[in-house]
Amino acid sequence: MLEKFFSKDARNFRPSAIRAFAKWINDPNVISFAGGSPNPETFPAERFAEIAARVLRERRHISLQYGPTRGLPRLCDFVAARCAVQSNEVILTTGSQQALDLIAHTLLDAGDVVAVELPTYIGGTSSFYARSAKLVGVQQDDDGIVPESLAEVARENRPKLLYVIPNFQNPSGRLMSQRRRDQVLEIAREHDFLIIEDDPYGELVYVGGADTTSIKSRDHDGRVLYLGTFSKILAPGVRCGWIAGPQEPVEKFEIAKQAADLCSGMLDQSIIDEYCNSGELPAQIERVRVFYRQKRAVMLDALEQHFSGRAQWTPADGGLFTFLTFNDDIDTAARVERAVANGVAYVPGAPFFVDGSGRNTMRLTFAKEPDERLREGVERLARVFGS
Amino acid sequence: MLEKFFSKDARNFRPSAIRAFAKWINDPNVISFAGGSPNPETFPAERFAEIAARVLRERRHISLQYGPTRGLPRLCDFVAARCAVQSNEVILTTGSQQALDLIAHTLLDAGDVVAVELPTYIGGTSSFYARSAKLVGVQQDDDGIVPESLAEVARENRPKLLYVIPNFQNPSGRLMSQRRRDQVLEIAREHDFLIIEDDPYGELVYVGGADTTSIKSRDHDGRVLYLGTFSKILAPGVRCGWIAGPQEPVEKFEIAKQAADLCSGMLDQSIIDEYCNSGELPAQIERVRVFYRQKRAVMLDALEQHFSGRAQWTPADGGLFTFLTFNDDIDTAARVERAVANGVAYVPGAPFFVDGSGRNTMRLTFAKEPDERLREGVERLARVFGS
C-alpha cells in the first residue's frame, strides 16, 4: 500500500543475495564456509574490556558524547599516518560500508556507470545499485583486473568510477599484481574516471613476497579514494572504517556524513584510539596473521586432497577466502541445499558477478571453523561435488 | 578539480549552519547556551563501564562481531514493546540521524516536497536537502503545527512527507497539543502524505500534565514513521536510535541500511540491551528529568529577571531548549560575535526556518552549564540585547 511513496532509488535497492546464506552459519550441525565474518578468537576482547571501562569512567564527555563528524582527531591522525596522507584527507566512517555509501551518494547519479571486477564484493554493488547506478563488469585473472578488459569498458561505457579490491579480494582471494595496479591507474587517467580502492584485507598476509602496495600510494593527480577498516584486524562490531582521499571530495563526504549519522560511535572510536595509540596494533596484526595462516593451510591442504583435478581454486595468500571454479556444467547454486543437508555450507559465486556469469564458482572462507571441521567440511563438500 | 564528478545530490548538500557555532562550546570563557548535546553528567557511565567490560569478555562473538542489520533482536523487542508495535515493525539505526537518512533515501526523489515546521531541526532538513528534496515551511504556534497552514501547504505543494517533532521540539521547545496531533493526522489522511514523527525528547518531561502521547499511537492506516533514540535518556556517543513503522517500508529501510552501514555498532547495542533489560531505564529517565528540571528552572527564572518585556520565550516544559523571540527589528545573527566577546554563546534562530524567517529568534539550551553560569550567562546575554 505504501509502495507508491517509494523513491526511484528504493525501487533499485537489492537485498544482499548472500545474507540469505547466513542462516546456516550458526547451525552447529553445518560446517560453514559461507559467512564472511572474521573469527571472534582474533578479537582483542580482554584489552578492549579494560580500555572500554577506562574510557567510559574517565572520559565520558568524549566516549559517550556526540563527536566530530570527521572522527576523533587523534584517531584520524593515526589513520592518516598509516595511509601516508594528511589528516585533512581522512574521514572516519561507520565501517567501510558507510564509506561506500557516502561515496556513492556524493558521486553517483542515476544511470552513472561503475566498473567493477568480475567477481566483486556484494556490499560494494549494493551501495551503487542503491543510487540507481549501472554496473559493468571487468574481467579478472590471477593477476587481478585484466587491463584490456578495463580499457574496453572505459571506452564503451565511460564509467565515472572503478571499484576495485586489489588485496586478497572478496570473494576471489586474489592479489592484484603491482604492474596491473600501474596499468589500472594509467587507464583511469586516460579515460578520466576515479578509483575506489577498497582494502579490508591488506594486512592479512600469509606468505612472503606478497606485495600489497596500494594504488593510492602512486596517485599523483588525486584520483583514488582509498578505503580501510579496523574490522578484520581488530573487530567489526566496533564500527570503524575510513576514506583517505583528496581534500575536496573528503569535505563533501563529511557533509554527506552529517546527514547520514552525524558521527560514528564515540565509544568505538575511543577504544580503537586508545588501543592503537598504545602501540598494540602491530602485535595484534601479527597474531591475526598467524591465526588465519594456519587455517588457510588446512583448507588448501584439504582442497588439494579432495578437489585436485575437479576444480581450480585461488591460493588465498591473504584475506579470508578462496574461490573455487568448477567445470562449466556445474551450477553451484543448485547444490546448496544438498550441501547443507550433508552438513556443509558455502556461498555460490554467481551473486558476485554483475554480468550473471560465475554459476560454476563458489566462495569458501577458512575463517570460522576449527581445523578439524575445516578438513571434515571439505570432505563433505567433495561428496556433494563428487564425480 | 573533482567537482565535475559530484552527483546532483552532492550539489544540494548543505553543511550544518549551526555546527559553526560549536567551536565556542568548549571555550571555558564562554558560557554556552549554543550546543544541542545532552549533559555528560546524565550519562550512566559507571554502569556502562561494568556492562561493557562484561559483554566484551563474555560475549565477544556478539558484541564485537557483525550483527543483524535490523539490530540486536532482544533490543528490537524491547523497543517494540515501548512503542507498542510488533518487533517486525522496528529497525534500530545508527542514531536517529540515520533513521532520517534511511527514510529520505527510501522515500524521496529529487524535487519531492517535504513539509516541515517553522522552525525545525537542522539534522532533519539536512537529510532531506541531501536527496534534493524541496522543503516547505508550516506555521507553528504555542500548540504546535497550525492546522490551517498545514492544510494550505498540503493543497498547494502536495508534500510526500511531513516532518514533525511534537514533543518539546528542537529548536522551539514546544509541545504539540493532543488536539493538534489529531488534526495533523487527519490532514495527512485527506491529502495522502506520510508523517515522520521524530521524538528524541518525549521522556524529558519537567512538569505535570504534559501529554506526550504520540501521533503514532493513533495511526490506524500505517502513515506514521516514529523515530526514537537513546541519545538523550542514555548517551549519544553510543549510537542507537530506531524507526517504528509499518512493516513494508521498514523492510525497505533494512535494505537501505545494508547498503548504508551493514549494521549498527554491536558493542553499543549490547551495552544498551543489557542496561534496558536489567530494568534500569525508568530510574535513569527519572534521574535525567530531575537533573534538567533544575537547570530549566534556573534559566527560566533568569530570563524572567532579565528579559521580561524584552522578548518572549517558550516554557520548555520538557526537552533541552527554550526559544526566544525578540522584536522584529532585532537580528540575532548580527549579535553573535558581540555575545561571544561578552562571554556567552547562543544559536541564532534563522537557520531553523526553511523560509528564511526567524531572524529575530534564538535557541538557548540549559543542558550544559552549571546553575551559577546559567544565571551569569543570561545576565551577559541581557547586556548584549539590552535596551
Give the strands of the sheet with B161-164, arranged side by side. B90-93, B241-244, B224-229, B194-198, B161-164, B113-117, B134-138
Contact A17, A351 (CB under 8 A): yes
For residue A307, which of A384, A207, A206, A368 has the smallest C-alpha distance? Answer: A384
- Rounded Cα distance between A225 and A256, Å, is 16
Residue B272 CB partners (closer than 8 Å, separation 6+): B75, B230, B234, B238, B240
Q: What is the DSSP letter of A38?
A: P
| Contact state of B255 with A13 under an 8 Å Cβ cutoff | yes
B chain contacts of residue A266, beta-carbon cutoff 8 Å:
236-238
Task: Please tell me the distance in Å from B385's CA to the nearest CA on chain A.
Answer: 31
- Rounded Cα distance between B381 and B387, Å, is 12
Chain B residue with Cα closest to A113: B5
Report in angstroms the alpha-carbon separations of B361 from A349, B149, B312, B350, B364.
59, 20, 9, 7, 10
pLDDT tens for B237-271 read 999 999 999 999 999 999 999 999 999 999 999 99
pLDDT value for A28? 86
For residue B368, which of B25, B23, B17 has the smallest C-alpha distance? Answer: B25
Beta-bridged to residue B195, according to DSSP, are: B162, B224
Mutating which of B43, B94, B102, B223 best tests the A interface, going by the most A Cβ atoms within 10 A? Answer: B94
The owner of cell 521547545 is: B173
Q: Nearest Cβ partner of B258 from A38, A126, A246?
A: A126
Residue A279 CB partners (closer than 8 Å, separation 6+): none
Q: What is the DSSP letter of A362?
A: E
pLDDT band, residue B27 (cuts 50/70/90):
confident
For residue A135, which of A157, A107, A168 has the smallest C-alpha distance? Answer: A157
Task: Please tell me the distance in Å from A165's CA to the nearest CA on chain B.
Answer: 17
Task: Please tell me the distance in Å from A125's CA to the nearest CA on chain B.
Answer: 9
pLDDT value for B24? 63
Q: How many CA atoms lie within 13 A of A102 on its CB side?
A: 36
A chain contacts of residue B57, beta-carbon cutoff 8 Å:
45-46, 49
Average pLDDT over residues B334-348: 95
Chain B residue with Cα closest to A262: B97
| Contact state of B2 with A53 under an 8 Å Cβ cutoff | no
pLDDT tens for B73-98 read 999 999 999 999 999 999 999 999 99
| Contact state of A126 with B95 under an 8 Å Cβ cutoff | no
Mutating which of B25, B54, B64 best tests the A interface, going by the most A Cβ atoms within 10 A? Answer: B64
pLDDT value for A23? 63
B chain contacts of residue A271, beta-carbon cutoff 8 Å:
267
- Rounded Cα distance between A207 and A318, Å, is 7
For residue B4, which of A114, A193, A150, A111 has the smallest C-alpha distance? Answer: A193
Q: Name the pairing type of β-strands B161-164 and B144-145.
A: unpaired
One pLDDT digit (tens) per residue for chain A, 387 residues: 789 999 999 999 988 877 766 666 678 899 999 989 999 999 999 999 999 999 999 999 999 999 999 999 999 999 999 999 999 999 999 999 999 999 999 999 999 999 999 999 999 999 999 999 999 999 999 999 999 999 999 999 999 999 999 999 999 999 999 999 999 999 999 999 999 999 999 999 999 999 999 999 999 999 999 999 999 999 999 999 999 999 999 999 999 999 999 999 999 999 999 999 999 999 999 999 999 999 999 999 999 999 999 999 999 999 999 999 999 999 999 999 999 999 999 999 999 999 999 999 999 999 999 999 999 999 999 999 985
Q: Nearest Cβ partner of B65 from A37, A127, A246?
A: A37
pLDDT value for A51? 98
For residue B252, which of B149, B131, B102 has the smallest C-alpha distance? Answer: B102
| Contact state of B246 with A127 under an 8 Å Cβ cutoff | no
Collapse the DSSP code of B377 into the 3-class scheme (helix H, G, I; strand E, B; otherwise coil) and give the result.
helix
The owner of cell 562571554 is: B343
Q: Nearest Cβ partner of B109 from A3, A8, A262?
A: A8
- Rounded Cα distance between A277 and A275, Å, is 6
Q: How many CA atoms lie within 13 A of B214 on its CB side?
A: 25
Collapse the DSSP code of A190 into the 3-class scheme (helix H, G, I; strand E, B; otherwise coil) and give the result.
helix
Where would I find the beta strands (DSSP E) of chain A?
31-32, 90-93, 113-117, 134-138, 140-141, 144-145, 161-164, 194-198, 224-229, 241-244, 312-313, 321-325, 344-345, 347-348, 361-365
pLDDT band, residue B386 (cuts 50/70/90):
confident
Chain B residue with Cα closest to A129: B259
| Contact state of A249 with B2 under an 8 Å Cβ cutoff | yes
pLDDT value for A29? 92
Task: Please tell me the distance in Å from B356's CA to the nearest CA on chain A.
Answer: 21
Where would I find the beta strands (DSSP E) of B182-293?
194-198, 224-229, 241-244
- Rounded Cα distance between B37 and B83, Å, is 24
| Contact state of A107 with B10 under an 8 Å Cβ cutoff | yes
Task: Please tell me the distance in Å from B307's CA to the nearest CA on chain A.
Answer: 31
Residue B139 has pLDDT above 80, yes or no: yes
| Contact state of B107 with A5 under an 8 Å Cβ cutoff | yes
Average pLDDT over residues B148-166: 98
pLDDT band, residue B16 (cuts 50/70/90):
confident
Q: Is B11 exposed, middle or buried (0-12, 13-18, 19+ CB in 10 A)?
A: exposed
B chain contacts of residue A2, beta-carbon cutoff 8 Å:
194, 222, 246, 248-249
pLDDT band, residue B380 (cuts 50/70/90):
very high
pLDDT value for B241? 98
Residue B387 has pLDDT above 60, yes or no: no
Q: Nearest Cβ partner of B256 from A13, A62, A109?
A: A13
Contact A324, A333 (CB under 8 A): no
- Global pTM reads 0.97
The owner of cell 547506478 is: A133
| Contact state of B107 with A9 under an 8 Å Cβ cutoff | no
Contact A160, A109 (CB under 8 A): no
- Rounded Cα distance between B9 and B105, Å, is 11
Q: What share of chain A is helix, strand, coil (3-state, %, to 5)?
A: 45, 15, 40
pLDDT value for A387? 55
Grid coordinates representing B122 are 537542522
| Contact state of A222 with B1 under an 8 Å Cβ cutoff | yes
Where would I find the beta strands (DSSP E) of A182-336?
194-198, 224-229, 241-244, 312-313, 321-325
pLDDT value for A235? 98
